Amino acid sequence: MDTMMDIDQLRRRHKAELVEKALKIFCPEEVGQEVKIYWLERLLEGHDVRQMLEHLKHGHSRSLEKSRFGGVEMCVSTGGVEVIDQDLEFHADGRRKLWVRIENDSTSAWETTPEQPLYAAYHWYDETGNVHDFDGKRTPLPKPIHPGDTLPMEIDIVNPSAPGDYRLMVTMVMEGQFWMEEKELDIHHIPITVLEYDGDGLTRQARDLYHQLKRSVMEAAH
């Protein structure tokens, strides 16, 4: 029994030294104790050393943070959101669905729960880069995204009310806490030309009514 304990202690010491050396090579600045413990426990669980080195090489552990929400820990690190929808036609003052792909490169599952209110969302900017609508509509994750996994999903978008050139940034938000681009989430600005709605898709009667209402609004404005 004592021999087994000695072997376990030696194994743990060996893994701890390995983590320390790896962190000194790839993370010359000081890292928190939780980062060291995280990688030590993963190695003791049998995870490949090469996986740890790859993560450290790309700087993932440098951004590792832990946030607490109602007793639930969420580890935030790099990941990303990418627009994959081929249809980028937007009409003013409308609503639509947009396909995106979310990649979780953190160390814990991402999911939408009362304890972890994590949502896909977005910001609209005008063509000069000024904020048009920062607080975009939220879409809950349809299922958990585990570390290393990706999830294609549709999100709800409310389009700008006026036609013109805009930039759309799809991101994620931990409600009431932070926007995840602040935590190194990889995001992109997509140029979008928002078109004036012409009644496309409506029946002839509904389209005629739409154009009558539109003319009435324009006449009232002048």
List the chain domain ranges. Answer: 2-63, 79-195
Give the single-character DSSP code of 181.
Answer: G
Write the pLDDT tens digit of every residue in 171-203. Answer: 999 998 889 998 889 999 999 999 987 655 555
Write the pLDDT tens digit of every residue in 96-108. Answer: 999 999 999 988 8
180: Cβ contacts below 8 Å, ≥ 6 apart: 76, 79, 171, 172, 173, 174
Order across the sheet with 150-158: list the strands.
150-158, 95-104, 79-83, 185-186
Report the CATH fold assignment for 79-195: Immunoglobulin-like (2.60.40)
Give the single-character DSSP code of 175.
Answer: T
For the entire predicted model, the pTM comes to: 0.62
